[in-house]
Structures are given as C-alpha cells and as structure tokens.
Amino acid sequence: MEVKPVKELIKYIAQALVDNIDAVEVSEVVGEHTIAIELRVAKEDLGKVIGKQGRNVEAMRTILSAVSTKLGKRAVLEIID
C-alpha cells in the first residue's frame, strides 16, 4: 500500500470542511517509519478545519492514525498557515 490514498483522504476531508476548496493543498514527507502530512488551507478556513476545541483536526488525526497503522507507519498531520 502506498501513501497516496492517505494524502487523498486528508484532502477530501479538508475540502468538505472549507469554503475555498481550491486553496486546499496537501503534501507528504515520507520517512522510513513516519509519514508527515502537511495541510494548507486559506486563512479564513483555518478555523473550520481546526473546529471547536480542535475537534475536527483531532478527528482527522484519529482517522489518519488508523489508516497509517495499516501501512505499518506512524503518521503526523500538521496544519501549515
């Protein structure tokens, strides 16, 4: 299994949350045991992605963790301003 489905999953979830869909950018840095997913959204959509008390971003991190376990790697989601 490869990293692309993980990247596409995060992009799909983020696009469902924001108003400015075209501003959503997802990139990944793949290490030997770790995958770092970087998510960029428009400034005005940052609060929507994070959610109240960080609930949206924590839910995305939980899903990412479950998927990455299947890949046998550790995944980290970072939101870049």
pLDDT tens digits, residue range 28-58? 998 888 989 999 999 999 999 999 999 999 9
Compute CA 52 distance to the chain's CA centroid, rounded to the nearest angstrom: 17
pLDDT in tens, 50-69: 999 999 999 999 999 998 88
Residue-range domain boundaries for the chain: 4-80
What's this model's pTM, rounded to 2 decimal places?
Answer: 0.87
Instruction: Give the gyration radius of the chain's Cα atoms.
Output: 12
Phi, psi of 29 (to 5 degrees): -120, 115
24/73 Cα distance (integer angstroms): 24
- Do residues 41 and 21 lie in contact, with contact meaning Cβ atoms separated by under 8 Å? no
Q: What is the CATH number of domain 4-80?
A: 3.30.300.20
The counts of H helices and E strands in the chain are 3, 3
Label residue 4 by pLDDT band (50, 70, 90).
confident
What pLDDT does 53 receive? 96
Residue 16 has a pLDDT of 96
